[in-house]
Amino acid sequence: MKTPLVHPIAPAVLAELRTADDAGRPAAPFTDPEGGAPLRCCLRRSESGERIALVSYAPLRRWAAETGADPGAYDEQGPVFVHADACPGPSGDALPFTDSHRTLRRYSADGRILGGRLVTDPDAFRPALADAFDDPEVALVHVRAVEYGCFLYEVRRS
């Protein structure tokens, strides 16, 4: 597999989510007292004192709108942390948030789940991602936190 194409939430989508999230709720920004929240806008952890918001996001629905796929019942939404205001996005090309247990959920081009894989060893993350894309039917992979099941980011076939 070539270098994976890691996708944070797109700036235009973030602008929408900061007004009304994918559940139709207004964003409620707050100052993060401790830091450590996984920010899906810039793919890093928040720092103490940063203004962030917890919003509902439907990653597969947003991808399907771009591609014309119909994810059907696989369309779901869940909580994600983002900066309360625009940020510069990710810096660098490292795979983020690989320091803990993760699930790699594979999807076909029509938005159907093709399977998943639990990754418990951070050193096994990159090989597991490559294995996912060894299947030619896999169009994208959602990286998710195991503890809460939250969407972290999307990786598309390069």
Q: Do 26 and 73 fall into the same domain?
A: yes
* One domain for residues 67 and 115: no
The answer to whether residue 20 is domain-embedded is: yes
One domain, residues 77 and 107? no
Q: Tell me whether residue 15 is in a domain.
A: yes
Domain count, the chain: 2
Domain C-terminal end among 31, 56, 83? 83
pLDDT digits (tens, 9 = 90+) for 88-138: 999 877 789 998 899 999 999 999 999 999 999 999 999 999 999 999 999
Domain match, 121 and 71 both: no
Strand intervals (E) in the chain:
5-7, 30-31, 38-39, 44-45, 51-57, 78-83, 102-108, 113-119, 138-145, 151-156
Structure token pair of residue 94: 């490292």
Residue 89 domain-assigned?
Answer: no
Specify if 94 maps to a domain: no
* Per-residue model confidence (pLDDT) at position 3: 61
Do 147 and 106 belong to one domain? yes
79 & 127 share domain: no
CA 45 to chain centre: 13
71 and 114 belong to one structural domain:
no
Task: Judge whether 140 lies within some domain.
Answer: yes
Structural domain boundaries enclosing 18: 9-83
Kindly state the tokens that stand for 92: 């660098």
Residue 96 included in any domain: no
Share of the chain above pLDDT 90, in %: 87
Distances 6 to 34, 40, 56, 133, 147 between C-alpha atoms, Å: 27, 11, 20, 13, 21
**Cβ(143)–Cβ(104) below 8 Å:** yes
Does any domain span residue 71? yes
Please tell me whether residues 62 and 128 are part of one structural domain: no
Asked if the structure places residue 144 within a domain, the reply is yes
| Judgement on whether residues 22 and 72 belong to the same structural domain of the protein | yes
Residue 151 pLDDT level (bands cut at 50, 70, 90): very high
Domain-ending residue, one of 34, 52, 83: 83
Give percent of the chain with pLDDT exceeding 70.
97
Q: Are strands 5-7 and 151-156 parallel, antiparallel or unpaired?
A: antiparallel
Domain boundary pick from 53, 83, 113: 83
Long-range Cβ contacts of 2-6 (<8 Å, 24+ apart): 2/158, 3/93, 3/158, 4/95, 4/129, 4/133, 4/155, 4/156, 4/158, 5/155, 5/156, 5/157, 5/158, 6/43, 6/90, 6/93, 6/95, 6/96, 6/153, 6/154, 6/155
Distance CA 58, CA 63 (A): 9
pLDDT band with cut points at 50, 70 and 90 for residue 2: low
Query: Stretch 40-44: mean pLDDT, rounded?
Result: 96
